A and B are shown apart, each in its own frame.
Chain A
């Protein structure tokens, strides 16, 4: 678990610096979010919610105006992603991609909803085409790599623990 938190911290630092290079039309893929979504695909809704929470709370601390906003959104996103994909076979990359696409849409919908409640944005419909769709597409594209990386990490841990204990 701590290893995953550590990876999340690294990803967040990476996201707020190097990811600027991958910006197309002002939109960049959200690597930590994809990581959290893939975590909930691989390890279930509890892990997904936890990783979403860690991602959100770090984002709140470093860039937010108050604590808990992103944490709440990403926690919910991770949970929903894991809960509704429990019984789906997640082998092929196309399924990971579609689920990440849907997960990002869910994230953005919760985001818009809560932003309206906390008065962070004023016009929700304006953001749909310029932000929501492209970011979902970006996240979709990088998701198989992240998913594969997590599966590898899991295997590595299994191996490590098998050998050691």
Chain B
């Protein structure tokens, strides 16, 4: 019996060490990991796609019933807003033309605000409660590579962390492990946007390394700063809801509410290139 027990413990220890070895090995060999994952994900993705879409439809259905009463009012407001935005758009186009002219006069490089986008559907979410990773249905075959920004029509959602032939894993900006270089649009103060870290409540993100003298106001818009090379400059991330000075430190931080509704992610866009160059890391 004693021998049996010790054998059992040896077996357990063996399994544990094999697993630890696997973690270290696959953390270093991403290709191998992707190759192993491909058949499994390919096999389950159709079912996931159907179920995910169905559950979102149900969710939408439930949330639209109370919304219906407010729709007429909202519609009028939106019409007004569209008119306003049309005017803004005209002015923006005017400024853009002027910008191009001035830049060419100064000999600066042209900046293109149009990105090459690839639309993708979300087909699944991290099953656990800890991390925020989603699976989208486009991959290498559609020109998507690792470290490309993923946006929605509302703003920045995250970036790709691993890519297979026809799927990609996206790390959302609310994940603890994500960090994005960002900027306060009004004051041009740079900082780093981290996922849910104390004391930001869940679903919010924290912007750190903001200079002590930065004058932050509630409602300030946060955009990506383009530093770091993954996320192009100028994508809306969210707005500041609280700014605080770090105790015993020369920095301050801000709690930022992301613009994207992460509970209702359905369709996303991957930014494949900007300024005519391919984004993402080299293969």
Is B47 a contact partner of A13 (Cβ separation < 8 A)? yes
CA distance A32 to B128 in the complex (A): 10
**8 pairs of A and B residues whose beta carbons are closest in the complex:** A68-B22, A17-B51, A67-B26, A126-B198, A66-B27, A68-B23, A17-B52, A72-B19
Judged by a CB distance under 8 angstroms, whether B219 is at the interface is: no
> What are 25 A-B pairs at a CB distance below 8 A?
A12-B127, A13-B47, A16-B124, A18-B55, A19-B127, A20-B55, A26-B203, A59-B127, A59-B128, A62-B124, A63-B124, A63-B127, A63-B133, A65-B162, A68-B21, A70-B128, A72-B16, A75-B15, A111-B130, A115-B130, A120-B176, A121-B130, A122-B197, A125-B198, A126-B197
In the assembled complex, which residues on chain B have CB atoms less than 8 Å from the CB atom of A16? 48, 52, 124-127, 135
Residue of A nearest to B55 (CB): A18
Interface contact A66-B23, CB-CB below 8 Å: yes
* Residue interface bits B162-206, CB-to-A below 8 A is 1, else 0: 100000010000001100000000000000000001100111000
**Chain B residue at minimal CB-CB distance from A126:** B198
Q: What's the least CB distance linking B124 to chain A, in Å?
A: 4
- Tell me the nearest residue of chain B to A14, going by C-beta: B51
Q: How many residues of B contact A (CB 8 A)?
A: 47
Task: Check A15–B41 contact: CB distance below 8 A.
Answer: no
Residue from B20, B55, B58, B129 in contact with A68 in the complex, judged by beta carbons closer than 8 Å: B20
Residues of B at the A interface (CB closer than 8 Å) are 12, 15-16, 19-23, 25-27, 33, 36-37, 40-41, 44, 47-48, 51-52, 54-56, 58-59, 124-131, 133, 135, 161-162, 169, 176-177, 197-198, 201-203, 263
Contact partner, B37, options A62, A79, A125, Cβ 8 Å: A62
Known: A17-B48, A58-B40, A68-B19. A121 touches B161 (CB 8 A): no
Q: Is the Cβ of A67 less than 8 Å from the Cβ of B23?
A: yes
Q: Who on chain B is nearest to A132 by CB?
A: B129
Q: Shortest CB–CB separation between residue A139 and chain B, in angstroms?
A: 10
Q: Are B127 and A15 in contact (CB under 8 A)?
A: yes
Interface residue ranges of A103-149 to B (CB < 8 Å): 111, 115, 118, 120-123, 125-127, 130-131, 135
- Please encode chain A, from 1 to 39, with 1 for each CB lying within 8 Å of some chain B CB and 0 for all others: 000000001001111111111010111101010000000
Q: Please pick, from B16, B27, B41, B131, the residue contacting A61 in the complex, using a CB distance under 8 A.
A: B41
Interface centre among A76, A118, A121 (most CB of B within 10 A): A121
Cβ–Cβ contact A63 & B129, under 8 A: no
